[in-house]
Amino acid sequence: MVIEWTAVHDDVYARRGPSVVLLDTRPKGQYTGAIVNGAVRGGHIPHAINIEGLRAIDGTSQLWKSMDELTEMYPEIPKDKTVYAYCHDGFRNTLAYMQLKALGYEDVRLYNGGWAH
């Protein structure tokens, strides 16, 4: 369930594995590098898709939105791929993991530590 940087490097860059999708679950400002919160640098891992997992939480009730709304959040993430999810420090990627698993994604993994490490 948890992967280290070495797996990301090996599977995505060294092997150029077409079966892996990188999912950056941070807010857009962190993804673009406009906001740098306690990280060595701003930006994102090249080729990562940015979908903020917190968008699936209803701001009033603090509950997940409907399964249809969750499905609409992840149109760029194919179900037949391995998903490596990361965020700043491990909260948002865990939320995305639970969302994707609830939607039927079979192979979702969490990048240990996140962008800040």
Q: Give yes or no: 59 in active site.
A: no
Q: Do 33 and 43 touch, CB atoms closer than 8 A?
A: yes
Could you read off the pLDDT of 28-68 as tens digits, one per residue? 999 999 998 878 889 998 899 999 988 888 888 888 889 99
- Residue 62's contacts (CB-CB under 8 Å, 6 or more residues apart) are none
- Locate tokens 């490097």: which residue? 9
Report pTM: 0.91
- Domain at 22, CATH number: 3.40.250.10
The domain total for the chain is 1
Helix (H, G, I), strand (E, B) or coil at 3: strand
Could you read off the pLDDT of 12-21 as tens digits, one per residue? 888 887 899 9
Q: Of the residues 51, 87, 96, 100, which is catalytic?
A: 87
Domain that holds residue 29: 2-35+43-111
Domain annotation covers residue 50: yes
